[in-house]
Amino acid sequence: MFGITKKQSWLIGAFLALALAALLVRTTPLGAALTERYPATEWPARGAFAVVHGANKTTPAPTNTAVNNLMHPRLATLFSESGGKALLVSQAGQLKLENYAQGMDQQTQFNSFSMVKSLIGLLVLKSIAEGRIDGTHVPLGTLLPEISNQSLGSLPLQSLLDMKSGVVFETGTMKTLSGSDEKDLEQTLLNPFGPMARLHFSGPGSVLEKLTSDPKLKGTFSYQNINTVLLGLALEQVYDQPLETLLGEKIWQPSGASDAMWRRYPHTNQVSAYCCLYATAHDWISVARFLMTNGTTGSPFLPEDLWRQFMGKDLGVDALHSGDYSHHVRHDILDRDGEPLQGHFTYFIGQGGQTLYMMPEHDLVVVRFGERHQKLHSTLYTVWLSLHS
């Protein structure tokens, strides 16, 4: 009377398997990875997102053909060979060059990947300027009392800003930067059971308890996404606001940028501080000019000393030749014999060579998006040739 046929047994088994699969998709990093997949390079993208509210400016009118055709042949070759998708150049506040790959335009929102890390560093400097944090010497644990590990809690913010914290999280050999980024999201997500996958798909709460800092590694540069995560948590704590609100109010709106989308960890309300802000190339031009000129709204974005730190104004030539990384921002120098453009430049960079260049001495901003890294110094040299040949 209460017997179950083979067919019924099979149906019950299939139902339970589907229910278990649904549970795994909702509650495990691997399941979340299968649902969201690898971050898309352009919007729209799978996953959950928060809005970074901007100034809601109107979309720029299509650029005329003359501007699009200004690319010097050497620059055009660099752009095409690296899978370039967008290249914009602004000088003295005017757009001088604008070029997009087929299918891309002024309205395309590109994935920042790690470029957004630099904005987290800037927000830390802004919190110091506003008296929310006493300085970069402040230990992390005083801002995040939930951190019980002494080696982690005693870290000064400066060590996190400079990626020299010694935090033990991801492993692997770093790459050198010239032409390619350090180990980053695209490498660390390959292991769906690794710590980066847990962080990316389950949020900071899934990894904080096991974090430590190795005294032997402190002071040694190691590019770790977790440093940015910890700084983001500290910012949310001292302001009692989410990162997307802070970015919108402190940088995005004052710069005149339009609304952007920032990836959230699945099943949480927090954005991933180290990755995946979707915005137009024009928005990044606006943000870069705002930061490079230290604010355009009548009052400085940062006090002079903090702004000089951000822009690397006091770095020596040796540090620039080595490729300095400080405050989540990068600095380098152009000094190739025979080139008309010379000097220090500050830049943000992300996976695939998403790059934002700033050269205040030449009032120059360059934004580039693409599939692969484009030669770092050659891009600026050939941009200058495009503007002056």
Q: Tell me the CATH number at 143.
A: 3.40.710.10
- 64 or 248, higher pLDDT: 248
Q: Which residue has the tokens 């970015």?
A: 247
Residue range 193-223, pLDDT digits in tens: 788 989 999 999 999 998 999 999 999 999 9
| 371 and 254 in a common domain | yes
pLDDT of residue 65: 45
Q: What SS3 class is residue 211?
A: coil
Radius of gyration, alpha carbons of the chain: 22
| 52 and 13 in a common domain | no
Has residue 380 got a pLDDT over 60?
yes
Q: Element (H or E) spanning 143, and its range?
A: helix 140-143
Has residue 321 got a pLDDT over 60?
yes
Count Cα neighbours of 256 within 13 Å in the Cβ-side half-sphere: 15
- Reported as a pLDDT band with limits 50, 70 and 90, residue 12 is low
Total domains present in the chain = 2
Q: Using the 8-state DSSP alphabet, how is residue 364 labeled?
A: E
| 96 and 129 in a common domain | yes
C-alpha to C-alpha distance for 75 and 81, rounded to whole angstroms: 10
Residue range 99-143, pLDDT digits in tens: 999 999 999 999 999 999 999 999 999 999 999 999 999 999 999
Which of 22-31, 115-124, 288-297, 328-337 has the lowest average pLDDT? 22-31
Residue 42 covered by a domain: no
| 23 and 152 in a common domain | no
pLDDT of residue 254: 94
Residue 81 covered by a domain: no
| 186 and 314 in a common domain | yes
- Reported as a pLDDT band with limits 50, 70 and 90, residue 178 is very low
- What is the per-residue burial (b if ≥16 Cβ within 10 Å, else e) of 55-73? eeeeeeeebeeeeeebbbe
| 52 and 21 in a common domain | no
Least Cα distance to 309 among 331, 290, 288 occurs for 331
| 122 and 23 in a common domain | no
- 298 or 27, higher pLDDT: 298
Region class of 353: left (phi > 0), else alpha (psi between -120 and 50), else beta: left
Residue 78 covered by a domain: no
| 339 and 275 in a common domain | yes
Quote the crossing angle between the two packed helices 195-202 and 225-239, to the nearest 10°.
30
pLDDT of residue 56: 74
Has residue 389 got a pLDDT over 80?
yes
C-alpha to C-alpha distance for 225 and 200, rounded to whole angstroms: 10
- The residues, any chain, with a CB within 8 Å of residue 57's CB and separated by 6 or more, are 256, 257, 258
Residue 3 covered by a domain: no
| 109 and 16 in a common domain | no
C-alpha to C-alpha distance for 211 and 347, rounded to whole angstroms: 29
Residue range 259-270, pLDDT digits in tens: 999 999 998 999
Least Cα distance to 366 among 67, 89, 75, 84 occurs for 89
| 105 and 21 in a common domain | no
| 142 and 31 in a common domain | no
Residue range 323-351, pLDDT digits in tens: 999 999 999 999 999 999 999 999 999 98
Residue 243 covered by a domain: yes
| 269 and 249 in a common domain | yes
Has residue 92 got a pLDDT over 60?
yes
C-alpha to C-alpha distance for 121 and 232, rounded to whole angstroms: 9
Angle 85-330-213 from CA coordinates, rounded to 5°: 115
Section 366-380 average pLDDT? 96
Domain of residue 152 covers 48-56+92-388
Q: Are 259 and 236 in contact (CB under 8 A)?
A: no
Section 43-57 average pLDDT? 92
Residue 66 covered by a domain: no
Which of 24-33, 91-100, 118-127, 280-289 has the lowest average pLDDT? 24-33
Q: Which residue has the tokens 């934002």?
A: 356
Residue 252 covered by a domain: yes
Residue 74 covered by a domain: no
pLDDT of residue 175: 47
Burial of 40 (0-12, 13-18, 19+ CB in 10 A): middle
Token digits of residue 248: 């919108």
Section 64-88 average pLDDT? 85
- Reported as a pLDDT band with limits 50, 70 and 90, residue 168 is confident
